[in-house]
Structure 1
Amino acid sequence: MAAGATIHTFEITLADVDRGVYEDLSLRAARHPSETDAFLMTRVLAYCLEHEEGIAFGEGISTTDEPAVLVRDLTGRITAWIEVGAPEADRLHHGSRLADRTAVYTHRDPAKVLARWDGKRIHRREEIVLRSFDAGFADDAAALLARRNALTVSVTEGHLYLELNGTSLDSAVHTRALG
């Protein structure tokens, strides 16, 4: 019998001063057995840092039709395609054609992620941003994960302050354009 997804719940206080977003969120995230804790943590942070009306997790890592996180307008059209990790160039190309904006959040070495896309065709490459955190940040946060989590996310002047289950961490949010 195949192992199923593990459900993690997050009670989140979000204060993104840079974007003027202040919300209290209750979030459930399913971690697929092939998904690492660092990937899950990056996916939750991407959700928080991109939070706006219509945001949701995609159907899961096994689907090719949706990214890890997406934003839909009231008509159901995808307006933001947000990938996590190191997606293939063809997924970014596809997402960039569908959505008004495309972003990638990675817990990996951003230079290696960018190198994967060199010479590959990606629609509106120059408009896509890659966001990453300080080395080890996602792994440190992932080590604190539990099934039920209390999370405070604060962003000011491009710096992320995170309190997860009583432990504080922080990191710069590094942004690079693909183009």
Structure 2
Amino acid sequence: MAPKATVYKITLQIADMDRGYYHDHQLTIAQHPSETDSRMMVRLLAFALNASETLEFSKGLCVEDEPELWQKTLSDEIELWVEFGQSDEKWLRKASGRAKQVQLFAYGGRAVPIWWQQNEKAFERYKNLKVWNIPEDEVKQMGELVSRNMQLQYNISDGEVWLSSDLGSVQINPEVLKSPH
């Protein structure tokens, strides 16, 4: 019998001084059996950095044709498509053609600079693509904050993120590898 997803109940309190966005979100998300705690926390970081009333998690890993996190208009157009890991150029080309904005949250420590060096030129042609690198130590520390019922506070200012919970806090310094043109 295949292992089932683990369900998490999460309260996010977001104070984003960079965007002037201050709001609480109640989320229920499923962690796929193959997903690590750290990766799930990168997904929550991406949500916090892009939070809005219409941003939502999709069916994600279970559906090939959708991003894991997206924002759609009332007419079902994709405004924001968010991917995670070290995606290939073909997948990002598809996303860039379907969405107004595409963001990729890369993580994986020393593998990221190698992957970036191999793909940077190809990614330049995508005018609506933003690529983030989340440092390995910070990804690991975020993973240590996981519990089944989480209350997370994200304070975002000058590109830095302070993530706090009852289990501790982490300062996150996401590096922007590529900004949209």
TM-score normalised to structure 1 length: 0.91
Considering fraction of residues, name the structure with more helix: 2
2:34 counterpart letter in structure 1: S
1:74–1:123: structure 2 CA closer, same or farther, 3 Å change rule? farther
1:46 counterpart letter in structure 2: A
Instruction: Using the TM superposition, give the Cα deviation of residue 178 of structure 1 relative to its aligned residue in structure 2, in angstroms.
Output: 7.0
1:111 is aligned to 113
1:89–1:169: structure 2 CA closer, same or farther, 3 Å change rule? same
Instruction: Using the TM superposition, give the Cα deviation of residue 64 of structure 1 relative to its aligned residue in structure 2, in angstroms.
Output: 1.6
Asked if the contact 1:101–1:127 (Cα under 8 Å) also holds between the matched residues in 2, the reply is: yes
Q: CA RMSD in A?
A: 1.9
Q: Structure 1, residues 10-57: CA drift from partner, whole Å, max 9, x if none? A: 111100100111111111111101111111110111011111232111
1:143 is aligned to 144
Asked if the contact 2:60–2:69 (Cα under 8 Å) also holds between the matched residues in 1, the reply is: no
Asked if the contact 1:53–1:71 (Cα under 8 Å) also holds between the matched residues in 2, the reply is: no
Instruction: Using the TM superposition, give the Cα deviation of residue 165 of structure 1 relative to its aligned residue in structure 2, in angstroms.
Output: 2.8
Same amino acid, percent of matched pairs: 25
1:130 aligns with 2:131: yes
d(CA) in 1 for partners of 2:15 and 2:100? 25
1:7-26 paired onto structure 2 within 5 Å:
7-26=7-26
Gaps of 5+ in 1: none
Instruction: Using the TM superposition, give the Cα deviation of residue 126 of structure 1 relative to its aligned residue in structure 2, in angstroms.
Output: 4.1
d(CA) in 2 for partners of 1:52 and 1:86? 25
Asked if the contact 1:94–1:123 (Cα under 8 Å) also holds between the matched residues in 2, the reply is: no
Shifted more, 127-136 versus 62-71: the winner is 127-136
SS in 1 for 2:25: strand
1:32-111 paired onto structure 2 within 5 Å:
32-109=32-109, 110-111=112-113
2:2 is aligned to 2
2:68 counterpart letter in structure 1: A
1:129 counterpart letter in structure 2: K
Asked if the contact 2:131–2:179 (Cα under 8 Å) also holds between the matched residues in 1, the reply is: yes
Asked if the contact 1:125–1:178 (Cα under 8 Å) also holds between the matched residues in 2, the reply is: no
Asked if the contact 2:100–2:128 (Cα under 8 Å) also holds between the matched residues in 1, the reply is: no
Instruction: Using the TM superposition, give the Cα deviation of residue 94 of structure 1 relative to its aligned residue in structure 2, in angstroms.
Output: 0.6
d(CA) in 1 for partners of 2:163 and 2:152? 7
Instruction: Using the TM superposition, give the Cα deviation of residue 169 of structure 1 relative to its aligned residue in structure 2, in angstroms.
Output: 1.0
Structure 1 segments of 4+ aligned residues over 4 angstroms from their partners = none
Instruction: Using the TM superposition, give the Cα deviation of residue 150 of structure 1 relative to its aligned residue in structure 2, in angstroms.
Output: 0.9
Matched pairs, number:
178
SS in 1 for 2:171: strand
Asked if the contact 1:68–1:82 (Cα under 8 Å) also holds between the matched residues in 2, the reply is: yes
Instruction: Using the TM superposition, give the Cα deviation of residue 118 of structure 1 relative to its aligned residue in structure 2, in angstroms.
Output: 4.9
1:153 is aligned to 154
Shifted more, 159-168 versus 108-117: the winner is 108-117
1:114 counterpart letter in structure 2: W
Shifted more, 110-119 versus 93-102: the winner is 110-119
